[in-house]
Amino acid sequence: MKLGINIDHIATLRQARGEEEPSLIEAAKETLAAGADGITIHLREDRRHIQDQDVIDIRKIAPRLNLEMAATPEIIEIACKIKPEFCCIVPEKRKELTTEGGLDVIGNKENLAKAIKTLNKANIEVSIFIDPDLPQISATAEIGAQYIEIHTGCYANAKNQESVDIELKKIIKATEHAVNIGLKVNAGHGLKYHNTKPIVKIPNIEELNIGHSIISRAVFIGLKNAVKEMLELIKKSS
């Protein structure tokens, strides 16, 4: 199983002062040196953390870049110029602290299908960030996406073991359904060192994208060590 590291919150810290530190490039280099398979960044329409120049700079050093984005003409145009290996289309709300759930593919099929076609023409594979909902996953296959990224937030935020088990079963069923209809599967959101192991054990999930928990851990032990700890956890859980 691959591990992509979302370094958005390095940019959040930088933007708090509007200066140049901490360096996103150094963060990406440290992350890759620790053994991460790729870098994930989210170029939001409101530019609250990642900036356009960050995408350009990180594209130059990341052998495997996953660009999270809304399916808007401006961001699609930027993606087609930068040409990351992957784009993950996510929902955006102006007042959200972080992405709150998966896309409504069924209600936005025409716009999403057009975005996927444009990105694929630029040789960019496309993932849809989606809740573990079978009809939504079916709709994702119908509009031509190559991947889904299962939103694991409800699982990660479950308050008791019964709820954890229910959410985990949803993710397992969603993964099975996606694979059966020809989609590849990634997962992420809210995953931490104490709750990632059960997700790793699910067959056919190809990659986890994790950010906040690793950046938080890095405050105490350093970014490279924090990435290595998660990689070791994944290795032992596989």
Active site residues: 42, 68, 189
Are 146 and 183 a contacting pair, CB within 8 Å?
Answer: yes
Residue from 188, 200, 230 nearest 68 by CA: 188
φ and ψ at 205, to 5 degrees? -80, 120
Are 99 and 90 a contacting pair, CB within 8 Å?
Answer: yes
